[in-house]
Amino acid sequence: MKIIVCENYAEMSARAAELIAELVKAKPDCVLGLATGSTPVGMYKELISKNEAGEISFKDVTTYNLDEYYPIEPTHEQSYRYFMNVNLFDHIDINKEKTFVPNGLTQNPEEEGAAYDAAIEAAGGVDLQVLGIGQNGHIAFNEPDDALIAGTHITSLTEDTIDANSRFFASRDDVPTRAFTMGIGSIMKAKKIILLANGKNKHAAIAKMLDDKITTQCPATILKAHADVYLFCDKDAYNG
């Protein structure tokens, strides 16, 4: 794992965006795996600036998002589809028909989960996957558990995750308790992975990820088994 410790959130966002921009320049029809949450927002702003400045174009890029709440309407202000539109897609020259987010209203998660993974494969696989990390070490919504699921699936959020995400909702009771998420296998198939982490509240998860064990109780530890991972973090997340 390549570890890039940055002075602050702004530097982390700029350096991660630079890596994505390099890929988009080298492979204009690349497939990006994208994440939501607070962490990548600064990086998305940098990508929007680069697009506005004409440095990069997303017109041939395809994107697959990691996850979506379940059940939730795509037009709901807290849905991840809405988040992606507001924080990135509405501001860049991407073809929205090439942007995919798991269907938060699926009636058939098994079939749609398998179809989501198959579509990624058919598109040539994810060239670069962006990840955040939960305070409990989750990646996408693969929560700590005795076993992890390989493919895209419906999962229950842990109480910690519901607590952490309640900051975006009017009340804790409004936070969906389930999500439709890419699995660990789907994530590990990406050719390159960027994990972003900032703030002291991510330090414990980052320290655990960087120790010498791989455990399903901290799903991010599996990233040590991937050959091309960049960790972009700030000093607070790295040092505590």
Q: Does 38 bind ligand F6R (CB under 6 A)?
A: yes
Tell me if 113 contacts ligand F6R by CB under 6 A. no
Q: How far is CA 58 from the centre of its chain?
A: 18
Rg (CA), the chain: 17
Give the contacts of 89 (CB within 8 A, at least 6 positions apart).
96, 99
Q: Tell me which residues in 51-90 interact with ligand F6R (CB under 6 A).
A: 66-67
Nearer to ligand F6R, 94 or 140 (CB): 140
The window from 14-22, 35-43, 88-96, 215-223 that contacts ligand F6R (CB under 6 A) reads 35-43
Binding ligand F6R by CB under 6 A: which of 16, 31, 39, 176? 39
Tokens linked to 14: 């700029």
| Distance of closest approach, residue 218 Cβ to ligand F6R, in angstroms | 13
The residue nearest ligand F6R at its CB is 132
Query: Which residue, 27 or 208, has its beta carbon nearer to ligand F6R?
Result: 208
Site for ligand F6R in 120-149 (CB under 6 A): 132-134, 138-141
State which of residues 35, 205, 223, 233 lies at the interface with ligand F6R (CB under 6 A).
35
* Residue 190 found at the interface with ligand F6R (CB under 6 A): no
Contact between 28 and 57 (Cβ < 8 Å): yes
Active site residues: 67, 136, 138, 143
The token pair that represents 52 in the structure block: 């506005």
234 binds ligand F6R (CB under 6 A): no
Distance CA(76)–CA(54), nearest Å, equals 32
Which of the ranges 36-44, 49-57, 92-100, 229-237 carries the binding residues for ligand F6R, by CB under 6 A?
A: 36-44
For the stretch 46-50, contacts whose Cβ atoms lie closer than 8 Å and that sit 24 or more positions apart, written own/partner, are: 46/13, 46/14, 46/16, 46/17, 46/18, 47/17, 47/20, 47/21, 47/88, 47/92, 48/88, 48/91, 48/92, 50/17, 50/21
Quote the CA–CA distance of 63 and 79 in Å, as a whole number: 17
Cβ proximity to ligand F6R: between 52 and 119 the closer is 119
Cβ nearer to ligand F6R, comparing 66 with 206: 66
Alpha helices in 4-104 (DSSP H): 9-26, 41-52, 80-87
- Is 176 among the residues that bind ligand F6R (CB under 6 A)? no
From the list 84, 70, 62, the residue with the least C-alpha distance to 152 is: 70
Indicate the residue among 50 and 81 with the shorter CB distance to ligand F6R. Answer: 81
Shortest CB 39 distance to ligand F6R, Å: 3
- Residue 36 makes contact with ligand F6R by CB under 6 A: yes
Number of alpha carbons in the 13 Å side-chain half-sphere of residue 15:
19
